[in-house]
Amino acid sequence: MGADVEQARYTPQQRQDYREKVRRDLDVFERMLRHSQFEFDRPMTGIEIELNLVSDDLGPRLDNKSVLAQIADPDYQTELARYNIELNVRPRPLPGDAALELEADLRGSLNHASERAAELGVGIVAIGILPTVMPEHFEGDWISENIRYEALNNAVLEARGEHVWLEIHGPGGERIARYADSLGPESACTSVQLHLQVQPEQFADHWNAAQALAGPQLALGANSPFFLGQRLWAETRIPLFTQATDTRPIELKNQGVRPRVWFGERWITSIFDLFEENVRYFPALLPVVTEEEPEEVFEAGRVPELRELRLHNGTVYRWNRPIYDIVGGLPHLRVENRVLPAGPTMVDVLANSAFYYGALRVLAHDDRPVWSRMSFSAADENFEQGARLGIDANTYWPGFGEVPTTELVLRRLLPLANEGLQRWGVSQAVRDRFLTVIERRCVLGVNGASWQSDCVAAFERRGLPRDRALREMLRLYIEGMHSNEPVHTWPLPSG
């Protein structure tokens, strides 16, 4: 997103021209869905993992430019803040032992990157929110040296017309309530994005299934309990990202104007529904107009790039986002799942991925789909409860009612995930390795968020103040991350 951004601010005329071009792109996209061939030779998946950089004192290290130059690997790119980088994993098919090979490749890549970064005195951490981030890290030159980040920061604040208000209350009574004068707090949210290439006629079923699965998925994978020193939601990344990128002042919220970070409001019947909502409801943030005439390109039998439509889609932050892309001159469609946080280990990340891809396969092809038996508001409530309470959340599911998420996973969703992976042609070895992690996580009631919270509590019982407890927890977390043993096996300090 944002490869064409070359300026930090835009004129009213540019915004008007962009609106018209986006609508033209949308019309051509609708014609493509009726008449074009989209690539789908085999199910392809991809993963993006956002990472944090830390100094020897485990505080954020705002130096991603030097670190990326040291790593010297094009798979690693900048992210919003100078203490963020991103690892982009090349797409690959699901079947066979591909996930075991991916685990080995990820560990090898991260080990190499960590070794190179260590030469600069920098550590790399995969975690939903770096617990040592504090307000001073969002001051001065915090933003990465890339004009698209500056443009996005300007656009959000100018659209809002005032500073961003952050207010998050944790279940234990701790809270934050403060203003932010930039997108800095959003940079604290580091995630894993899972991509699945799908056929146009099957997109709606896969998106609906992903939405239904999002609540349990988040409850299992929560890994972001601390922000600015406070114990907030199990997956604080969800409300923080929502609030930090909110372009609405309070008056527009009161009118019911939709936020740009959005779970959605209905089940869909086509990918077109989502792109049409984007154009109808959301003004442009980055109105970059290209010279492409999409109608002429399409009518000439070529593949239009639709860059305005794609860039606009990249500034509407759905937790399950539709993607139109072109690779090798061929168009394709993907569901981009943005629900999960980064970490704790690569085996945890891939266990989360296996659960998602497997369960999604069965849910999307069910003769009586779950979304025909569950209201969209119930799925939205499941998502919020998963974010707020994590592994301790309850989930509503047709045929079960409201039950502990761990019980639902063990009794229903984990067997579905196993069946779905089998349908994908995934090997028994892959299913055993990664789904066993999910099973043990549920049996023990331990995920990244609960381990972090329990670890900090143990240090505080020893008499450590919160800031020191967070750093000691993060030190143990990094040791566990490098072990690549799943988080439910990590020991806790006595206390």
pLDDT digits (tens, 9 = 90+) for 151-195: 999 999 999 999 999 999 999 999 999 999 999 999 999 999 999
pTM of the model: 0.96
109: left (phi over 0), alpha (psi -120 to 50) or beta: alpha
Q: For 207-255, what is each residue's pLDDT tens digit?
A: 999 999 999 999 999 999 999 999 999 999 999 999 999 999 999 999 9
* Burial of 426 per CB tally in 10 Å (0-12, 13-18, 19+): buried
Q: Report the pLDDT averaged over residues 127-132.
A: 98
Taking 90 as the threshold, does the pLDDT of residue 291 lie above it? Answer: yes
Describe the chain by its helix, strand, coil percentages, rounded to 5: 50, 20, 35
Q: Higher pLDDT residue, 146 or 3?
A: 146
Name the token pair of 252.
């527009």
Residue 368 CB partners (closer than 8 Å, separation 6+): none
Chain-centre distance of CA 462, in angstroms? 35
Q: Which residue has the higher pLDDT, 42 or 432?
A: 432
What amino acid is encoded at 3 in this protein?
A
Q: How many CB atoms lie within 10 A of CB 4?
A: 14
The rounded distance, in Å, linking the Cα atoms of 380 and 374 is 11
Residue tagged 């381990």 (tokens):
451
Residue linked to tokens 């991916």: 102
- Strand 192-198, strand 330-337: pairing: antiparallel
The string of DSSP codes covering 289-302 is --S--HHHHHHTT-
DSSP for 348-400 reads HHHHHHHHHHHHHHHHHT-SS-GGGSS-HHHHHHHHHHHHHHGGG-EEEETTT
Q: In this structure, are residues 361 and 420 in contact, taking their beta carbons and an 8 Å threshold? A: yes
Q: Does residue 2 surpass a pLDDT of 60?
A: no
CA distance 190 to 246: 17
Q: 197 — phi, psi (to 5°)?
A: -80, 130
Residues facing 336 on adjacent strands: 195, 321
CA distance 451 to 435: 20
Question: Which pLDDT value is given to residue 42?
Answer: 67
- Please, which pLDDT band fits residue 5 given cuts at 50, 70 and 90? confident
Residue 32 has what pLDDT?
96
What would be the CATH architecture of the domain defined by 12-487?
Answer: 2-Layer Sandwich (3.30)
